[in-house]
């Protein structure tokens, strides 16, 4: 077992605090990205869907982008539940867990 002094423990706690802040900022940014994606109709079947040719230089396909944003949506709902929130609509907690198991 490694025993650290107060300075080492404080440094460790500060790094953890910084990472927690970065994580919350990232979750918020990803949530905003999902909102923008939906609002602009970028999803397949939307009013202005993103296609592979639209994002060719990004080196990602429209399907990959869509799947990433679906995962972001799911993760944001899980964070909401972890923070004591509820999810309105047809998605329920067990369905979220089932979706996670399926995705993994």
Residue 16: its pLDDT value, please? 95
Let me know if residue 66 belongs to a domain: yes
**What total number of domains does the chain contain?**
1
Domain that holds residue 80: 7-103
Rounded Cα distance, 20 and 29, in Å:
14
How confident is the model over 4-61, as pLDDT tens digits?
A: 788 899 999 999 999 988 988 888 898 889 889 989 999 989 999 999 999 999 999 9
Helix segments in the chain, DSSP class H: 6-39, 62-82, 93-103
Let me know if residue 70 belongs to a domain: yes
Let me know if residue 2 belongs to a domain: no
**pTM strictly above 0.85:** no
Residue 26: its pLDDT value, please? 87
How confident is the model over 58-103, as pLDDT tens digits?
A: 999 999 999 888 888 887 777 777 777 766 655 555 565 666 566 5
Nearest to 67 by CA among 26, 99, 28: 99
88 phi, psi to nearest 5 deg: -90, 165
């Amino acid at each position: 077992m490694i025993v650290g002094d107060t300075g080492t423990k404080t440094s460790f706690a500060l790094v953890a605090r910084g990472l927690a802040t970065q994580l919350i900022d990232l979750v918020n940014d990803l949530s905003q990205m999902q909102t923008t994606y939906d609002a602009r109709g970028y999803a397949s079947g939307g009013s202005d869907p993103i296609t592979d040719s639209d994002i060719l230089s990004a080196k990602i396909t429209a399907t990959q982008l869509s799947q990433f944003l679906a995962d972001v949506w799911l993760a944001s709902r899980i964070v909401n539940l972890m923070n004591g929130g509820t999810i309105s609509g047809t998605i329920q907690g067990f369905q979220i867990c089932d979706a996670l198991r399926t995705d993994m």
